[in-house]
Amino acid sequence: MPLDRIEVLAVLALALALFVTEKVRVDLVSLIVLALLLVLGLVTPKEGVSGFSNEATVTVAAMFVLSGALKKVGGLDAVAAVLVRAAERGRSVLLGTMMGIVSAVSAFINNTACVAVFLPIALTVARRAEISPSRLLIPLSYAAQFGGVVTLIGTSTNVLVASLAVENGLAPLGMFEFAPLGLTLAAVGIVYMLFIGQRLLPDRGSGDLTTQYALADYLTELVVRPGSRLIGQPLSESGLSQAGINVVQIVRDGRAIWAPSRAERVAERDVIVARSSPERILLAKDTLGLEIRPEVKFSDERLQGGDAVLAEVLIAPGSHVEGSTLESSNFRGRFRVIVMAIHRRAEIIREELRDVVLRSGDVLLVVGHREDVGRLGGRDDFILLRQFARTRVDRRRVALVLATIAGVILAAAVFDVPIVLAALVGSIGLVVSGCLNLEEAYEAIDWQVIFLLAGILPLGIALEQTGTAAWVAAGVVAAVGDLGPIWVLGALYFFCALLNAVISNNAAAVLMIPIAISTAVGLGVDPRPFVFAIAYAGSSDFATPIGYQTNTMIYGPGGYRFLDYTRVGAPLILLFMLVTTLLAPRIWPF
């Protein structure tokens, strides 16, 4: 085997290992891969940086801006009323209505932005209808993926696949060329969830947040005794923080001070609501001159009052706080809220919170003034999982954003304007018109996805130029080629789906497209059905919470466990594979 092929396979193996273990962020993994390809001479410097100027990368960035503008102006808030009315007619009606609407919306805006908008709406509807969130959120994430396979701009994977196909000599993929099979898959997915999937969904119940996060053992009322060394000291110098005691509230002369600032001075007979472990409280109470109030029962009502609220906040994909800790990011000082606990996947973290490295998908249980919590939820870095008030909708801007998105679609679909040009013009137009400013446009872009695309695209070039893709394709043809192209198509779909379950969907597409095209050439058939099969497989991961961003986003809020996704989603992946394998050759003949 040639040395360059061995080197490409070694880089590929390292990339897969880093993606699967999640020890390193996916965008950093892609940059490591890029650096290795350059150092080993597997791509030229020009090829190495080509991912940053690739049409797919630029198009995806522009589509993030379009989606961010629609989210900012509240263009989808009216949907909440529709879902509330649907809930009154039963859970199945609610489920069908929600999945239909989300699928339709996600066909034209970024899936992550779509779920970010609908997640708090779904939780609000679930609370009002007394339905467990676990019965609604997996269908929400799946529906966003169903819609994503209907159009060229439905997912970043579709845009990426289209760009790679053209680079490999295929005719451009049309805006609605995905639709015949995509709509079929969406319909199959919704029917499956209504009649089979919803029976497999867990019912974890809801209850108040204090109970869900098991905070009772971590909250204590402390009284400042006469003569305490704390009296007159600002909180920053009191020693409470050093003792591992987080002050949530101070009650003084019947007045509650929520999330007190570090400059707040402690007074005699202050009642301090503290968050800490019982062990730390017992160790510190005598040294600091504190008295424990026994038999105090904590609930959501006890932790709220006046303008103070207890709320869950999701760390959004690409958030600026990802990779930092509460202490290093000065979370309390910057946002003026206190983090009570962190829900990470199936784990609830209540101790040593200040040293926990924050990740995308973490749910923070925070307490603070309503205005501060609302301001936190208004940032693109976070998604507030409770609607405190209806967003004021600017109808003029909503109409302008919708018209712009429609214009982008029309230009690409009817007038054959390159999608990268249409999306760029549209996003620039929204900034110029004031629908969002330049800073908001930058914040709307998920830079992690952009750097992932830019860094991993050269790996596809290396696979192609070193003959590695052709070598793997020859192996595929030798293994299942005698069974016919339809079996090979199904095998490639299945392998891409497996990859998608453990690594980024975009990375899976970059790896699989050269192999799929080379395999089709080896069989002597048209590569087009193979390209679309990879696009569909790469845009849909239902079996794990880590293979697709929207699955990760609803992991904590839904109270799910890893196997919940596998139980509901694995049959759906097989169903999609069967439908795609049977119908793709009919739509795009071999």
More confident position, 70 or 136: 136
pLDDT of residue 384 exceeding 60: yes
Query: What pLDDT was estimated at residue 77?
Result: 67
Query: What pLDDT was estimated at residue 205?
Result: 63
SS3 content of the chain, % helix, strand, coil (to 5): 60, 10, 30
Instruction: Kindly report, residue by residue over 243-301, the tens digit of the pLDDT.
Output: 888 898 898 988 888 878 888 999 999 999 888 888 888 888 888 899 988 767 777 77
Total number of residues shown for the chain: 590
Strand ranges in 177-270 using DSSP code E only, listed in sequence order: 219-224, 246-252, 255-258
Tell me whether residue 267 is exposed, middle or buried, using C-beta atoms within 10 angstroms of its C-beta: 0 to 12, 13 to 18, 19 or more.
middle
Query: What pLDDT was estimated at residue 568?
Result: 96
Instruction: Kindly report, residue by residue over 216-236, the tens digit of the pLDDT.
Output: 778 889 999 998 999 999 988
Do the beta carbons of residue 210 and residue 248 sit within 8 Å? no
pLDDT of residue 43 exceeding 90: yes
422: left (phi over 0), alpha (psi -120 to 50) or beta: alpha
Instruction: Kindly report, residue by residue over 545-585, the tens digit of the pLDDT.
Output: 887 889 989 998 888 998 999 999 999 999 999 999 999 99
Query: What pLDDT was estimated at residue 350?
Result: 87
Query: What pLDDT was estimated at residue 392?
Result: 62
Spatial distance between the Cα atoms of 286 and 62, rounded to a whole number of angstroms = 59
Beta bridge partner(s), residue 308: 305, 369
Give residue 389's pLDDT band: very low, low, confident or very high (50, 70, 90).
low
pLDDT of residue 45 exceeding 60: yes
Do the beta carbons of residue 397 and residue 71 sit within 8 Å? no
pLDDT of residue 476 exceeding 60: yes
Residue 385: what residue type? L
> pTM for the whole thing?
0.86
- In which element (H, E) is residue 119 found? helix 111-129
Greatest alpha-carbon pair distance for the chain in Å reads 89
Query: What pLDDT was estimated at residue 395?
Result: 79
Query: What pLDDT was estimated at residue 503?
Result: 81
Residue ranges and CATH numbers for the domains of the chain are 3-205+402-587 (no CATH), 216-292 (3.30.70.1450), 308-384 (3.30.70.1450)
CA distances from 328 to 234, 308, 360, 362, 448 (A): 21, 25, 17, 17, 21
Instruction: Kindly report, residue by residue over 290-299, the tens digit of the pLDDT.
Output: 998 876 777 7
Instruction: Kindly report, residue by residue over 47-84, the tens digit of the pLDDT.
Output: 999 999 999 999 999 999 998 888 888 777 666 667 77
Give the highest mean pLDDT range of 365-374, 488-497, 544-553.
488-497
Query: What pLDDT was estimated at residue 36?
Result: 95
Residue 542: what residue type? F
Spatial distance between the Cα atoms of 233 and 203, rounded to a whole number of angstroms = 48
Instruction: Kindly report, residue by residue over 496-534, the tens digit of the pLDDT.
Output: 998 888 788 888 898 899 999 999 999 999 999 999 999
CA distances from 334 to 265, 321, 330, 370, 427 (A): 20, 11, 6, 15, 30
Q: Nearest 5°: CA angle at 175, between 449 and 74?
A: 60
Spatial distance between the Cα atoms of 32 and 26, rounded to a whole number of angstroms = 10
Do the beta carbons of residue 12 and residue 459 sit within 8 Å? yes
The fraction of the chain above a pLDDT of 90, given in percent, is: 47
Please enumerate in sequence order all residues whose Cβ is within 8 A of that of 409, keeping only pairs 6 or more positions apart, or say none: 108, 151, 153, 175
Instruction: Kindly report, residue by residue over 306-360, the tens digit of the pLDDT.
Output: 678 888 999 988 888 988 999 899 898 889 898 999 998 778 898 888 889 999 8
Least confident interval from 182-191, 202-211, 446-455: 202-211
Backbone angles phi, psi at 272, to 5 degrees: -105, 125
Query: What pLDDT was estimated at residue 305?
Result: 67
Please enumerate in sequence order all residues whose Cβ is within 8 A of that of 104, keeping only pairs 6 or more positions apart, or say none: 147
Following DSSP, what letter does each residue of 53-93 receive, concatenated?
H-HHHHHHHHHHHHHHHHHHTTTTTTHHHHHHHHHTT-HHH
Do the beta carbons of residue 266 and residue 235 sit within 8 Å? yes
Please enumerate in sequence order all residues whose Cβ is within 8 A of that of 6, keeping only pairs 6 or more positions apart, or say none: none
End-to-end CA distance of the chain: 32
Tokens representing 110? Answer: 């970024």
pLDDT of residue 11 exceeding 60: yes
For the chain, the average pLDDT equals 88
